[in-house]
Amino acid sequence: MRCRWLDYGATAIALQALLLWHYNGDMQEPKTPKKRGPPFKPPGEKLVRGTLYLPPEAWEKIEHAGRPALIVYIARWRVKPPAG
């Protein structure tokens, strides 16, 4: 039994011509990539994710006051230099 895909007749020549036209045809202008992800934020507004372990009483205070109040409180916090 003969395989029809291995037959080097007119169909194979047409297929070769089609492939040559496809791969050697005129180059199209490259598409500009789509902008994905969240919009850019300046360095002062960018937030960093972290983990903080606190006692339940402290979490209750944070939940009561809200996250913006916690951010303001931490921003006002002055770190004391180590004694010694």
| Residue-range definition of the domain harbouring residue 58 | 50-84
Question: What is the signed CA dihedral for 6, 9, 14, 15, rounded to 10 degrees?
Answer: 0
pTM: 0.45
44 inside domain: no
40 inside domain: no
84 inside domain: yes
C-alpha to C-alpha distance for 14 and 42, rounded to whole angstroms: 57
71 inside domain: yes
43 inside domain: no
Number of domains observed in the structure of the chain: 1
pLDDT digit of tens for each residue in the chain (84 aa)? 555 555 566 777 788 888 787 777 676 777 787 778 888 888 888 888 899 899 999 999 999 999 899 989 998 999 888 887
